[in-house]
Amino acid sequence: MLFPMRDYYTPGEVAERFDLTLDTLRYYEREGLLRRVDRSPSGHRRYRADDVELLGLVRCLRDTDMPIARLREFAELVQAGDHTIHDRLDVLQRHQDRLDQRIAELRAHQTAIQHKIDYYVGVLADNAPRTVEETS
Protein backbone atom coordinates (compact mmCIF):
# COMPACT_ATOMS: atom_id res chain seq x y z
CA MET A 1 0.00 0.00 0.00
CA LEU A 2 1.37 3.39 -0.97
CA PHE A 3 -0.06 5.30 1.95
CA PRO A 4 -1.15 2.87 4.65
CA MET A 5 -3.56 3.77 7.44
CA ARG A 6 -1.29 4.47 10.39
CA ASP A 7 -1.10 6.52 13.57
CA TYR A 8 1.61 8.78 12.30
CA TYR A 9 3.24 9.77 9.06
CA THR A 10 6.70 11.18 8.56
CA PRO A 11 7.36 14.49 6.78
CA GLY A 12 8.85 12.59 3.85
CA GLU A 13 5.75 10.44 3.45
CA VAL A 14 3.39 13.36 3.63
CA ALA A 15 5.48 15.48 1.27
CA GLU A 16 5.53 12.71 -1.28
CA ARG A 17 1.84 11.99 -0.97
CA PHE A 18 0.88 15.58 -1.74
CA ASP A 19 3.81 16.34 -3.99
CA LEU A 20 5.03 19.11 -1.71
CA THR A 21 8.56 19.83 -0.56
CA LEU A 22 9.51 19.52 3.11
CA ASP A 23 10.12 23.25 3.04
CA THR A 24 6.61 23.94 1.84
CA LEU A 25 5.19 21.62 4.48
CA ARG A 26 7.02 23.50 7.21
CA TYR A 27 6.08 26.80 5.62
CA TYR A 28 2.40 25.87 5.79
CA GLU A 29 2.77 25.00 9.44
CA ARG A 30 4.54 28.29 10.19
CA GLU A 31 1.78 30.14 8.38
CA GLY A 32 -0.84 28.46 10.54
CA LEU A 33 -2.39 26.29 7.82
CA LEU A 34 -1.91 23.29 10.10
CA ARG A 35 -1.93 23.16 13.85
CA ARG A 36 1.43 22.76 15.59
CA VAL A 37 2.24 19.23 14.49
CA ASP A 38 3.21 16.48 16.98
CA ARG A 39 6.85 15.54 17.45
CA SER A 40 8.75 12.33 17.98
CA PRO A 41 11.05 12.16 21.06
CA SER A 42 13.90 13.30 18.81
CA GLY A 43 11.98 16.34 17.60
CA HIS A 44 10.91 15.07 14.19
CA ARG A 45 7.43 15.89 13.03
CA ARG A 46 4.77 13.19 13.16
CA TYR A 47 1.67 13.94 11.14
CA ARG A 48 -1.56 12.42 12.37
CA ALA A 49 -4.29 11.14 10.08
CA ASP A 50 -6.31 14.29 10.61
CA ASP A 51 -3.32 16.49 9.75
CA VAL A 52 -3.05 14.57 6.52
CA GLU A 53 -6.74 14.96 5.84
CA LEU A 54 -6.65 18.72 6.41
CA LEU A 55 -3.57 18.95 4.26
CA GLY A 56 -5.47 17.24 1.47
CA LEU A 57 -8.08 19.96 1.59
CA VAL A 58 -5.42 22.66 1.87
CA ARG A 59 -3.76 21.27 -1.22
CA CYS A 60 -7.02 21.32 -3.10
CA LEU A 61 -7.76 24.88 -2.11
CA ARG A 62 -4.24 26.08 -2.90
CA ASP A 63 -4.37 24.35 -6.27
CA THR A 64 -7.46 26.36 -6.99
CA ASP A 65 -5.69 29.57 -5.98
CA MET A 66 -7.06 30.22 -2.54
CA PRO A 67 -4.53 32.59 -0.97
CA ILE A 68 -2.54 31.52 2.07
CA ALA A 69 -4.21 34.17 4.22
CA ARG A 70 -7.68 32.76 3.62
CA LEU A 71 -6.43 29.23 4.16
CA ARG A 72 -5.10 30.35 7.51
CA GLU A 73 -8.51 31.73 8.44
CA PHE A 74 -10.07 28.42 7.46
CA ALA A 75 -7.49 26.51 9.51
CA GLU A 76 -8.29 28.70 12.49
CA LEU A 77 -11.96 27.83 12.15
CA VAL A 78 -11.07 24.14 12.06
CA GLN A 79 -9.04 24.51 15.24
CA ALA A 80 -11.74 26.52 16.98
CA GLY A 81 -14.00 23.45 17.06
CA ASP A 82 -17.24 22.08 15.65
CA HIS A 83 -19.27 25.20 16.29
CA THR A 84 -17.46 26.84 13.35
CA ILE A 85 -18.74 24.38 10.75
CA HIS A 86 -21.23 26.88 9.45
CA ASP A 87 -18.47 29.44 8.92
CA ARG A 88 -16.29 26.84 7.25
CA LEU A 89 -19.10 25.98 4.88
CA ASP A 90 -19.36 29.65 4.09
CA VAL A 91 -15.68 29.90 3.22
CA LEU A 92 -15.84 26.81 1.03
CA GLN A 93 -19.04 27.81 -0.71
CA ARG A 94 -17.69 31.26 -1.52
CA HIS A 95 -14.61 29.61 -2.91
CA GLN A 96 -16.71 27.39 -5.14
CA ASP A 97 -18.57 30.45 -6.39
CA ARG A 98 -15.31 32.20 -7.20
CA LEU A 99 -14.15 29.05 -8.95
CA ASP A 100 -17.30 29.00 -11.08
CA GLN A 101 -16.59 32.59 -12.05
CA ARG A 102 -12.97 31.89 -12.77
CA ILE A 103 -13.77 28.90 -14.95
CA ALA A 104 -16.33 30.95 -16.87
CA GLU A 105 -13.74 33.69 -17.34
CA LEU A 106 -11.15 31.23 -18.60
CA ARG A 107 -13.67 29.78 -21.03
CA ALA A 108 -14.58 33.23 -22.33
CA HIS A 109 -10.96 34.16 -22.86
CA GLN A 110 -10.37 30.80 -24.48
CA THR A 111 -13.09 31.56 -26.99
CA ALA A 112 -11.52 34.92 -27.78
CA ILE A 113 -8.12 33.29 -28.28
CA GLN A 114 -9.75 30.70 -30.52
CA HIS A 115 -11.00 33.51 -32.76
CA LYS A 116 -7.44 34.71 -33.10
CA ILE A 117 -6.32 31.18 -33.93
CA ASP A 118 -9.06 30.88 -36.54
CA TYR A 119 -7.98 34.18 -38.00
CA TYR A 120 -4.37 33.00 -38.30
CA VAL A 121 -5.50 29.71 -39.81
CA GLY A 122 -7.43 31.75 -42.36
CA VAL A 123 -4.35 33.76 -43.21
CA LEU A 124 -2.35 30.57 -43.71
CA ALA A 125 -5.13 29.07 -45.85
CA ASP A 126 -5.17 32.16 -48.06
CA ASN A 127 -1.42 32.03 -48.52
CA ALA A 128 -0.68 28.33 -48.73
CA PRO A 129 -2.52 27.65 -52.03
CA ARG A 130 -0.69 30.52 -53.68
CA THR A 131 2.59 29.05 -52.41
CA VAL A 132 1.59 25.72 -53.92
CA GLU A 133 0.92 27.36 -57.27
CA GLU A 134 4.19 29.21 -57.12
CA THR A 135 6.17 26.09 -56.35
CA SER A 136 4.41 23.98 -59.01
Partner DNA sequence: GCTTGACCTGGAGCGCACTCCAGGCCCCAT
Partner DNA sequence: ATGGGGCCTGGAGTGCGCTCCAGGTCAAGC
Query: Residue 131, interface with a copy of itself (CB under 8 A)?
Result: no
Output 22 or 113, the one with its CB closest to a copy of itself.
113
State the Cα–Cα distance between residues 10 and 48, nearest whole angstrom: 9
- Number of CB atoms found within 10 A of residue 19's CB: 8
Query: Residue 134, interface with a copy of itself (CB under 8 A)?
Result: no
Strands (E), 33-131: 38-39, 45-48
Output 23 or 82, the one with its CB closest to DNA.
23
Q: For the range 29-37, what are the long-range contacts, defined as Cβ-Cβ under 8 Å and sequence gap of 24 or more? A: 31/68, 31/71, 31/72, 32/72, 32/75, 32/76, 33/58, 33/68, 33/71, 33/72, 33/75, 34/58, 34/75, 35/75, 35/79
The residues facing 46 across adjacent strands are 38
Query: Residue 22, interface with DNA (CB under 7 A)?
Result: yes
Query: Residue 12, interface with DNA (CB under 7 A)?
Result: yes
One of 56, 67, 85, 97 touching DNA (CB under 7 A): 67
Query: Residue 64, interface with DNA (CB under 7 A)?
Result: no
Map the footprint of a copy of itself across residues 16-75, applying CB under 8 A. Answer: 57, 60-61, 63-64
Binding site for a copy of itself (CB under 8 A): 57, 60-61, 63-64, 82, 85-86, 88-89, 92-93, 95-96, 99-100, 102-103, 105-107, 109-110, 112-114, 116-117, 120-121, 123-124, 127
